[in-house]
Chains A and B, each alone.
Chain A
Amino acid sequence: MPPTTALFSCPPTPLQVLLCAALVPGSGQLRLGRVWRGVLIFVTAALLLFIVNWGLVNFEIGQITIGSLTTSWLWVPLILFWVWNAWDAYAAASDRSGNTLLGVVCAAVILYITAWNVTDIKLERLVTRFSDFRKVAVDIVNPDLFSTTVQGETRPCSWGCILAAARAGRLADVTPSENFGDIIGRIREVKASGLIVGLGLAQPGQPVRMLVPGKLFETIALGLLATIFSIIVAVPLSFFAAHNIMMRVRGGAAIYYVMRTILNAVRAVDTVIWALLVIVWVGLGNMAGIIALTIHSVAALGKLYSEEIEHIDPGPVEAITATGANLFQVLRYAVVPQIIPPFLAYSLLRWDINMRAATVVGFVAGGGIGFFVVETIRLGAYPQYAAALWGIAVVIILVDAISARWRERILRDQTQAEITAPRPWYASLRVWSYLLLFLALFVGSWTLLKLDARALLEPAPTFGRLVRDFVTIDLSPDVLEIVTKEILVTIFQALLATTFGSLLAIPFSFLAAKNLTGRSLLSRWIYYAARGLFNVLRSIEALLYVAIFVFWVGIGPFAGVLGLAVTAFALLGKLFSEAIENIDPGPIEAVTATGANRLQVIRYGILPQIIPPFISYAIYQWDISIRMATIIGFAGGGGIGLRLNNYFGMLQYHKAGTVVLFIVVVVALMDFASAKLRERLV
């Protein structure tokens, strides 16, 4: 029976509401005017129904045989959910309070058991294959960064070796290794460049010792250039995606909706997946990396910027309009001054994110440290891989700190009192030195990456086919079945990873909250250790963790879950601990004043304050995890990314198109759902 018929044929007496809900889950609640709850229950029931059946058919989840009947015992919690829903409707109709937790538990049992099975979780492998991990772990703590020469033979020299050399006073024998040169840079004799000759530092043709930057600097340049390009594109675009601006223009509403849809769709596809598409156009290399990073970043920034434009104070806009100014003047004098600080802050945040993405975009685009990492993994060269990880960690932690500090300063937005007319910008030394620095960075990055804009104009012949195949994607049933399966596995991976990450982050976050750890020396050390752990772990992308876990637990979704869980743990640990630090001491004081003991204070003074932000952050993380889960397949972490990579490898673009479509729809839906859920929480 379709829900609408049930909806209107049920009069709202408790018993009939109960019958109503028993027939169609959620309809009872709908009938009582609790629209949100009703819809949520209906959707959940439908999803659970699908999942139990899908799990039974595809993975034999919960399969049991009773006589001649083969079925899944997961129908039991589903029936319980159904019963709970009817009871909930009945309780609501007779003005008693229901118990939401019961319904949530029933749904959770089904979801987690299915997730556990489809992502092939084998916790015992963490133990049985620990020796494999230990080998890698030893390499990871001993990265190939330095070497020493013993009897004419060059040997890697790690921390222990360096320490021994320092003790023996032979530190001079320890030199940066070849690998150090590849990653960070090496001093080389090169012919003096025109610039150096021009500065009078060398004769023409004279060899000079120069630093030849390594992959890490290439990565920094990638992130920087992509950020600059995306800001330049996103700023004007964001005005077309801002509701309050477009409503002032004829036909603006249509442009607004089109822009928003495009931005959301583009944003749903991860940088690494964009790289797959872009290499078909410009070929492997840094150019592909830059373009992929820029495309994703434009969409992300465009959304953030346009939301910021929508949140400006409308008063000045009204006032400037009232003076007879035209649209451009209104934008320049009423809108632009208001959006400069948030735009700067978001740009800095994006720079941070782009730097992180730049460390992995090379996985498929070929370029930067990502490509280097792929090579080392392929060769099983873990000490070299480890050196790259260390380098990345240092760079990203620095970038993170700089970006955070600047953002804080910008958002504080102090006013300075000036008595005299300020000098115009073109007469200010500071502006010129910033411009010069910016130009030098830009040109330096461009040269370092050996970019050639002409590649843009010469798309590879297969690119035309790619576009054609993406328009006529393959929607045949068997492809749909495979893609549905992979995308569900991806979603379940994100679910488990977020769950593991949050469960682990909760205890650690208490250790990293300044207001709870106390003042003693030991607790101060614990605080720094916990914070440091979060920051170090957070600086490495999930894709790189997956490469390690693949070695530990084997290729497959489980490795992906573990990789995602580590990043989820790191980010949630940071967010949770900040949430704890932000709690209001007032209620704690009040509860303490009533004579409550420590546990009671936590229960009544602290928990009510931290549970909503914790849940909100966990949902936020779940959204992030889904996005990351779409790409972990590139490192052997299973899920939809693997399938996508295969389709691309076999040039089956029309099937790849189906995968991308699914990713866009699922990620955009989850993004929407997570935003709505969090909105309701706060």
Chain B
Amino acid sequence: MLKVQHLVKIYPNGTQALRDVSFEVADGEFLAIIGLSGSGKSTLLRCINRLIEPTAGKILWDDVDITAASGAEMRRIRRQIGMIFQQFNLVKRSSVMTNVLSGRLGYVGTVASLVGHFSREDRARALANLAQVGLEDKAYVRADALSGGQQQRVGIARALMQNPRLILADEPVASLDPVLAHSILKYLEQLNRERGITVLCSLHFLDLVHRYATRAIALKDGQVVFSGLPHEIDDAQFKAIYGQEAERVSIV
């Protein structure tokens, strides 16, 4: 169970990105986070694994206070939280294999990892995870030689290396075409259903939310303006979230 309580984030330049955000996520949920650009989705997701320091509020994960964790504790928590990014954030000049193995860094010793040593099991696991996303034949190719969709699958494989109990996905499909978007989200859905990994995923298109999410919350100007089941977002709700002039668009 993940509990976010009265979360506030004010950036150093004074921007109020989150104002008193509270919600809960049960284990095994696929929670979609929606909202306009600039509504605070990325900020919220990054506060959960403290890539961004929250200004106030608490985040409890199985009653452990993430916001109070010290450096080493925080790294132990982070290694159980996989993260997937809109821009994939692969190290472009490293091989796919190295990128996937780097998901293991929280578990292995510093010295061994600095000289590039990973155990036999870790390497086998990396190949297995690549096979799961259908990229076993690309293991030794440099990451920048892959297409966007392939790079995102490497990103998923990297997250899987962490053996995560929770996955944070920040607009994982926003840089991909509609067909690829479905294939990536299907992987996330599969992980959610088969391995019981909780997924928090920010999305732009409502029909993707309907199709994959078990629950949704909507942010507007850093506040939660909706929380409920995906199909409960009707026209009135939609206008409240996206503004009066907004119109529904859909993705194939």
**Can you name the residue of chain B whose Cβ is closest to the Cβ of A418?**
B140
Asked if B113 is at the interface of the complex by the 8 Å CB criterion, the answer is yes
A322–B83 touching, CB < 8 Å = yes
Identify 17 new A-B residue pairs, CB closer than 8 A, beyond the known A320-B105, A324-B162, A340-B93.
A315-B88, A315-B89, A316-B89, A316-B92, A323-B83, A323-B102, A323-B104, A324-B77, A325-B105, A328-B110, A333-B91, A334-B102, A338-B93, A341-B93, A419-B140, A421-B139, A422-B95
Q: B148 on the interface (CB 8 Å rule)?
A: no
User: Is B75 an interface residue, CB under 8 A from the partner?
Assistant: yes
Q: How far, in Å, is A576 (CB) from chain B's closest CB?
A: 34
- Enumerate chain B residues within 8 angstroms of A325, measured Cβ to Cβ: 75, 102, 105-106
List of B residues within 8 angstroms of A338 by Cβ: 91-93
CA gap between A334 and B75 in the complex, in Å: 16
Interface residues of B (CB under 8 A from A): 49, 51, 75-83, 85, 87-95, 97-98, 102-107, 110, 113-114, 137, 139-142, 144-145, 155, 158-159, 161-162, 168
Chain B residues with CB below 8 A from A129, complex form:
none
Alpha-carbon distance A542/B104, docked complex (angstroms): 55
CB distance from A389 to the nearest CB of B (A): 43
On whether the beta carbons of A323 and B113 are closer than 8 Å, the reply is: no
A417, B141: Cβ atoms closer than 8 Å: yes
Interface assignment of A337: CB less than 8 Å from any CB of chain B: yes
Q: Mark A398-434, 1 if CB is under 8 A from B, else 0.
A: 0000000000000001011111111000000000000
Q: Is the CB of A322 within 8 A of B110?
A: no
| Contact-size category for A | 20 to 34
By the criterion CB–CB under 8 Å, are B91 and A421 in contact?
Answer: no
- Whether B89 and A326, one on each chain, are in contact in the complex, defined by CB atoms closer than 8 angstroms, is no
Closest to A330 in B: B105
Q: Which chain B residues border A313 with CB–CB below 8 Å?
A: 92
User: Most B CB atoms within 10 A — which of A316, A324, A332?
Assistant: A324
A residues whose Cβ falls under 8 Å from a Cβ of B: 313, 315-316, 318-326, 328-329, 332-334, 337-338, 340-341, 413, 415-422
CA distance A11 to B24 in the complex (A): 58
Bound-state Cα–Cα, A413 to B94, Å? 12
Q: How far is the CA of A417 from the CA of B159 in the complex (A)?
A: 24
Are B81 and A322 in contact, CB atoms less than 8 angstroms apart? yes
Q: Are B145 and A319 in contact (CB under 8 A)?
A: no
Chain A's closest residue to B102 (CB) is A333
Task: Output the least CB separation between B11 and chain A (Å).
Answer: 14
Q: Are A323 and B103 in contact (CB under 8 A)?
A: yes
User: In the docked arrangement, what's the CA distance between A323 and B145, Å?
Assistant: 23
Q: Complex Cα distance A421/B116, Å?
A: 14
Q: Which residues of A contact B93 (CB under 8 A)?
A: 337-338, 340-341, 413
Contacting pair B51 A318 (CB below 8 A): yes
* CA A315 to CA B87, docked complex, whole Å: 8
Q: Tell whether, in the assembled complex, residue A318 and residue B105 are in contact, meaning their CB atoms are under 8 Å apart.
A: no
Interfacial chain A residues near B137, Cβ < 8 Å: 419
Can you sample 13 A-B contacts with CB below 8 Å? A315-B88, A316-B89, A319-B158, A323-B82, A323-B161, A323-B162, A326-B105, A333-B113, A337-B94, A415-B141, A417-B141, A417-B145, A418-B141
Q: Do B114 and A337 touch across chains, with their CB atoms under 8 A apart?
A: no
A323 contacts B89, CB within 8 Å? no
Find the A residue at minimum CB distance from B113.
Answer: A329
Tell whether, in the assembled complex, residue A319 and residue B79 are in contact, meaning their CB atoms are under 8 Å apart.
no
Contact A323 B105 (CB under 8 A): yes
